[in-house]
């Protein structure tokens, strides 16, 4: 069977190859969503592919590049008792940071329908403007211009009781402790000075 490579992910030079079928072409477009939550939260985001038609190929794929400051903790299989952590192939090396999901295993969508799966994504830090992306591939896709979609992050600060809250960071406590010690020393000096002058 022929293979095809898809480019245009967040990391330059990234490509992935999948086997294609000779079935009718379909216009695949991504199903994306925002990663919304507080720092330290693990949120569920449903990602995948919509088939805009006209064909109904039995294969294809999509690749997900997680947003900076996040971690994909699991992509559980749906509808069975499989306890594997990932239903999509995780990154294979340090240069290719995408999860590759094969529609021949997940189920390729028929025209005007979608095939999606839930990604569990942990928000590790708050990075303004952070975005990942999802890129889809279908055999002989007639509209390649709609094959990539952003995955934005809408992260709020961690609540006070979480270790990710900046208040629990030693880098913040050290200067505060130094200021406190200086303040106490200055107060002792002022009290001693008043007694001496009196």
> CA-CA distance, 45 to 36, in Å (whole number)?
9
> CA-CA distance, 115 to 72, in Å (whole number)?
19
Selected residue with higher pLDDT from 78 and 9: 78
In this prediction, residues 52-81 reach a mean pLDDT of 91
DSSP letter string, 36-98: EEETT-EEEEEEEEEEEEE---S--EEEEEPPTTEEEEEB--SSS----SBSSBPP-SSS---
Among 26-30, 64-68, 156-160, 193-197, where is mean pLDDT lowest? Answer: 193-197
Query: For residue 10, what pLDDT is reported?
Result: 41
What value does the mean pLDDT of the chain take? 81
Query: For residue 94, what pLDDT is reported?
Result: 78
Selected residue with higher pLDDT from 176 and 123: 123
What is the number of other CB atoms lying within 10 angstroms of the CB of residue 174? 10
pLDDT, one tens digit per residue, over 151-167 is: 999 999 887 766 555 55
Asked if 36 and 43 touch (Cβ cutoff 8 Å), the reply is: yes
Q: What percent of the chain has pLDDT over 90?
A: 55
In this prediction, residues 170-185 reach a mean pLDDT of 59
């Amino acid at each position: 069977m022929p293979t095809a490579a898809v480019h245009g992910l967040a990391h330059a030079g990234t490509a992935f190859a999948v086997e294609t079928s000779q079935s009718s072409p379909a216009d695949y477009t991504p199903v994306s969503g925002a990663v919304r939550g507080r720092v330290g939260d693990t949120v569920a985001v449903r990602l995948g592919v919509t088939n805009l038609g006209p064909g109904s190929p039995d294969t294809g794929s999509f690749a997900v590049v997680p947003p900076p400051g996040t971690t994909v903790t699991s992509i559980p299989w749906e509808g069975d008792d499989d306890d594997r952590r990932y239903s999509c192939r995780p990154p294979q090396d340090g240069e290719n940071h995408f999860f590759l999901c094969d529609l021949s295993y997940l189920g390729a969508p028929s025209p005007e329908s979608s095939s999606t799966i839930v990604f569990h994504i942990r928000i590790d830090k708050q990075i303004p403007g952070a975005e990942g992306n999802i890129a889809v591939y279908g055999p002989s896709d007639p509209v390649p211009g709609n094959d990539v979609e952003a995955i934005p992050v809408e992260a709020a600060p961690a609540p006070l009781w979480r270790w990710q809250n900046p208040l629990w960071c030693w880098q913040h406590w050290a200067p505060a402790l130094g200021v406190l010690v200086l303040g106490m020393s200055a107060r002792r000096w002022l009290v001693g000075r008043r007694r001496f002058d009196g």
